[in-house]
Structure 1
Amino acid sequence: MPISTTNPATGETLETFEAMDAEEVDRRLERARTAFEEYRTTGFAERAELMRRAADELEKDQDEIARTVTTEMGKPVAAARAEVAKCVKAMRWYAERAEGLLADEHPSQGDVEDSGATTAYVRYRPLGPVLAVMPWNFPLWQVIRFAAPALMAGNTGLLKHASNVPRTALYLEELFRRAGYPEGCFQTLLIGSGEVEGVLRDRRVAAATLTGSEPAGRSVASIAGDEIKKTVLELGGSDPYLVLPSADVAKAAEVAVAARTQNNGQSCIAAKRFIVHREVYEEFARLFTDGMRALKIGDPMDESTRIGPLSSERGRADLEELVEDARKHGATVLCGGRRPASHPAGWFYEPTVLADITPAMRIHREETFGPVATLYRVADLDEAIEVANDTDFGLSSNVWTRDRAEQERCVRDLRAGGVYFNGMTASHPAMPFGGVKRSGYGRELSGHGIREFCNATTVWHGTPPDVPAAE
């Protein structure tokens, strides 16, 4: 895939970039290693000041970089500005809290004495240069939620971004440079996916994080495993959205529209499978379908647009194949199911609701990356949980019920990295984010995320640390 900026609203390629050659990649790897040896010795106050400056710079650039994001991957510009604001929030959150999150941990005095020590504690130390292989769908947020904790922990970062968002990738490197970070602390590698293995195998790279597809995650994990390097993977999702009889059905349907169509439906944590109790199925299906049908499709630079184009022609074709397969196997199309006649140029697809889904359909098993929802009618909570768990993915889940016993049952039995009640899944700096099964492993954000790329070092003293040992 060429490294280029192609406007998905028009299909026009605006700029093409030369991939970095092996010598340039080697120079950047060496800069990352050299920068780490110095940067790891800085204190939290210095790192926090740099991170706050980067956040300030990003906030000042909000309108400009939002338009860049929209141009490169088609996100409605209002959503792109919201993505910038979310990044700024996370950067300031880690600047404020990193020192506390990585504070030394002290076992009880009884356990210290039982170990034979006079003093013992755990100290979190950075690992080194971390390679981040990032996707196009949230081209700022996916990077910042890795970079903010990694840099605050004392690591350096190497970004291999998706090939269709090169302007955003280069902007991110420039952002941290403008904020005053030492040269080599954060660098973008303009390389193709075929070059990732060589970078990951380089001894100067300490660890890797990837957000993306299951095949990409499997590849990075196998290479890193061969090299015995730590990885964090956030992969695909086919998140269930359960609606039970005690729910506020009107509100559940309203939120369901947003949950399915955020980022033009191209989100790993977007709700995709709507599993509805038979007592409220008809009402929910009607309200949800009406809401999906009413969404405005159009130019993503228009402030009133709710649904922009998909990011690529291939992405739209993949979505069309899933819908056509479902239709062929008996699915009912309640709305959408085609390209909008009003937008013949660009890679648009109508918001779509499919009902009467069966296991014979590919869409029952595969992730839909676009504004297509599947509806399931279930008899009770047992069946709802069974359908929800009948997937290889386990990123997050949404449940609408006011019944406390049903909520506890879902927390116990839903196999996912998150369970969100009476609302939609959304990442937040204070909450750990990640999945189970083929949605990946490890966690981003919160204290869990910042400690993923740290060496939890046991420090043990047989004599008091301020008293010289006997010769």
Structure 2
Amino acid sequence: MKKIELISPADGSVYVERQPMSRDAAQAAAARARAAQPAWAARPLEERIALVKAGVAKLTAMKETLAKELAGQMGRPIRFGQGEMGGVNARTDYMSDIAAETLAPKMIEDSNAFRRYLAREALGVIFVIAPWNYPFLTAINTIVPGLIAGNTIVLKHASQTLLAGERLAEAFHAAGIPEDVFQNVVFDHATTEALIAARAFDFVNFTGSVGGGQAIERAAAGTFTPLGLELGGKDPGYVRADANLDAAVDTLMDGAMFNSGQCCCGIERVYVHESLYDAFVEKSVAWVNSLKLGNPMDETTTLGPMANVRFAKVVRDQIAEAVAQGAKPLIDPANFPEDDGGAYLAPQILVNVDHSMRVMTEESFGPVVGIMKVKDDAEALRLMNDSAYGLTASIWTEDYDTAAAIGAQIQTGTIMMNRADYLDPALCWTGCKDTGRGGSLSYLGFYSVTRPKSYHLKKV
């Protein structure tokens, strides 16, 4: 079986390599997780919460090492590398705080004749297939509620961030979570699909491409295994006439360019009211030109390489096609000398764009954003909904009711007003259309990793 090589986008070297597990070893790992689950679920909830929080604390204590490893593995500038831990802790704390109330039985009747109630029961073994772009945050979304609710976890991390899975296992095991309760594994695609098809898991959570989600669904067909799928996105921003212009530019451009545009809920297209369009574009160009593209290990770098050369090619191709169709690029690549035809890619703003161009309709997942002028809310709504995806939408206005009214008409999972590229652990992280199905975080995140169980007890 061929080794999996992690190629660093920083310099093209082999950063780390690992041997995938054989089919027999993979089946044995899943079997150990299943055997360990009843005893883990039998532990008091407070004990499970304490162990999970201790594991996250161990992970947080490694944040300097994690930042360096992320720079090497997927190219995130080291100056931003520790930021992920803030979100990891916030989400862990919130899910821990609501666990007892959310998982408690809901009493319907408790009388001399009947006791009727609804309980939540752990699903069993959860298989988490985590992505590379936010390798800790995205994994934690399912790992934390899954463990707290009494499930065991089998984690398969993306080949671009192999060390992230190992660090998570190291931290949780050091905190006292048994090795069979939380396992980090290295599977190839064929083994992954074979175990899903064999019903080795009771829930599969996948974050990644639409094609990857389709492969998971095909593997699970006929097994009735529940799936959580967070797939592609093409998240829009809409700047109304009453928007705070400077705040909109700062947040939307950061949402488009942070992490080299490789964010699940990054801003990929912006629609601006005609009264603000020229000023928005001018200020956005200045904002993007202030970035520094460079080696992610350099503390002054604000824009690192894309995680892989092939990802950068997708973005280059989309930009080239759009320009050939009449789009106008506003950022001179000469301002970003690291644009080497490889993983280092200059950011780009495109105007004179429309929805006949792939850059406005297909996921880019890179440092490019198209900006279109609109005359009113109706035109903005039509364009925002003209998408195969639906994860988040960012509306810029000074009025709550206006944002809510527009948001009610947008086909998406989350509506944000005057912010973008953000997850609130109290709100469900979910999407629609080709973005996938299911949800994590909030109290609904616990519902994803448990099943309802009804008790109808009668005295005679």
TM-score, normalised by the number of residues in structure 2 = 0.95
Q: Which residue is equivalent to 2:94?
A: 93
CA distance in 1 between partners of 2:414 and 2:254 (Å): 18
Q: Which residue is equivalent to 2:286?
A: 290
**Offset from partner CA, 1:125-176 (integer Å, 9 cap, x none):** 1011111111111111111111001000101111121112112222222221
Report the Cα offset of residue 243 of structure 1: 0.1
CA distance in 2 between partners of 1:188 and 1:327 (Å): 44
Report the Cα offset of residue 339 of structure 1: 9.7
Q: Map of 1:103-142 to 2, 5 A cutoff?
A: 103-107=104-108, 118-142=114-138
The one-letter code of the counterpart of 1:236 is G
Give the alignment partner of residue 197 of structure 1, picking from 187, 193, 199.
193
Tell me, yes or no, if structure 1 residue 172 matches structure 2 residue 168. Answer: yes
5+ residue gaps, structure 2: none
Contact 1:323 1:337 in 2 (8 A): no
CA distance in 1 between partners of 2:242 and 2:70 (Å): 40
CA distance in 2 between partners of 1:129 and 1:263 (Å): 32
1:335 match: secondary structure: coil
Contact 2:21 2:185 in 1 (8 A): yes
Q: Map of 1:28-107 to 2, 5 A cutoff?
A: 28-107=29-108
CA distance in 1 between partners of 2:125 and 2:332 (Å): 46
**Offset from partner CA, 1:256-293 (integer Å, 9 cap, x none):** 12111121100120011101011110111111111011
Q: Which residue is equivalent to 1:400?
A: 396
- Residues 153, 278 of structure 1: alpha-carbon distance in 2 compared, 3 angstrom cutoff: same
CA distance in 2 between partners of 1:203 and 1:438 (Å): 25
Report the Cα offset of residue 322 of structure 1: 0.5
Q: Map of 1:324-403 to 2, 5 A cutoff?
A: 324-336=320-332, 340-342=336-338, 344=340, 347-403=343-399
2:154 match: secondary structure: strand
Contact 2:131 2:157 in 1 (8 A): yes
CA distance in 2 between partners of 1:302 and 1:460 (Å): 63
CA distance in 2 between partners of 1:96 and 1:240 (Å): 32
Report the Cα offset of residue 248 of structure 1: 0.6
CA distance in 1 between partners of 2:334 and 2:138 (Å): 30
Report the Cα offset of residue 438 of structure 1: 0.7
1:297 match: secondary structure: coil
Q: Which residue is equivalent to 1:416?
A: 412
**Offset from partner CA, 1:418-441 (integer Å, 9 cap, x none):** 110011131132221010111111
Q: Which residue is equivalent to 1:466?
A: none
CA distance in 1 between partners of 2:177 and 2:36 (Å): 10
CA distance in 2 between partners of 1:202 and 1:178 (Å): 32
Tell me, yes or no, if structure 1 residue 215 matches structure 2 residue 216. Answer: no
CA distance in 2 between partners of 1:42 and 1:294 (Å): 53
CA distance in 2 between partners of 1:126 and 1:137 (Å): 28
Q: Which residue is equivalent to 2:147?
A: 151
- Residues 31, 292 of structure 1: alpha-carbon distance in 2 compared, 3 angstrom cutoff: same
Identity value in percent: 27
- Residues 359, 90 of structure 1: alpha-carbon distance in 2 compared, 3 angstrom cutoff: closer
Contact 1:58 1:88 in 2 (8 A): no
Contact 2:194 2:219 in 1 (8 A): no
5+ residue gaps, structure 1: 464-468
Report the Cα offset of residue 88 of structure 1: 2.5
- Residues 341, 41 of structure 1: alpha-carbon distance in 2 compared, 3 angstrom cutoff: same
Aligned-residue RMSD, C-alpha: 1.9
The one-letter code of the counterpart of 1:393 is Y
Contact 1:4 1:166 in 2 (8 A): no
Q: Which residue is equivalent to 2:266?
A: 270
CA distance in 2 between partners of 1:22 and 1:193 (Å): 11
The one-letter code of the counterpart of 2:439 is R
1:221 match: secondary structure: helix
Q: Which residue is equivalent to 2:247?
A: 251
Range 202-211 or range 234-243, more displaced: 202-211
- Residues 248, 129 of structure 1: alpha-carbon distance in 2 compared, 3 angstrom cutoff: same
Report the Cα offset of residue 94 of structure 1: 2.5
2:215 match: secondary structure: helix
CA distance in 1 between partners of 2:185 and 2:16 (Å): 17
**Offset from partner CA, 1:174-194 (integer Å, 9 cap, x none):** 221111112211111211222
CA distance in 2 between partners of 1:303 and 1:120 (Å): 60
Tell me how many residue pairs correspond in the alignment. 459
- Residues 117, 80 of structure 1: alpha-carbon distance in 2 compared, 3 angstrom cutoff: farther
CA distance in 2 between partners of 1:164 and 1:117 (Å): 59
Contact 1:47 1:152 in 2 (8 A): yes
**Offset from partner CA, 1:34-78 (integer Å, 9 cap, x none):** 111211111111101101210220121111122112210011123
2:14 match: secondary structure: strand
**Offset from partner CA, 1:338-368 (integer Å, 9 cap, x none):** 8943454861111110011123211122011
Range 278-287 or range 330-339, more displaced: 330-339
1:15 match: secondary structure: strand
CA distance in 1 between partners of 2:171 and 2:5 (Å): 20
The one-letter code of the counterpart of 1:390 is D
CA distance in 1 between partners of 2:299 and 2:94 (Å): 29
CA distance in 2 between partners of 1:240 and 1:455 (Å): 34
Range 40-49 or range 335-344, more displaced: 335-344
CA distance in 2 between partners of 1:279 and 1:167 (Å): 48
Tell me, yes or no, if structure 1 residue 303 matches structure 2 residue 299. Answer: yes
The one-letter code of the counterpart of 2:419 is G
- Residues 239, 452 of structure 1: alpha-carbon distance in 2 compared, 3 angstrom cutoff: same
Contact 1:243 1:275 in 2 (8 A): yes
The one-letter code of the counterpart of 2:176 is G
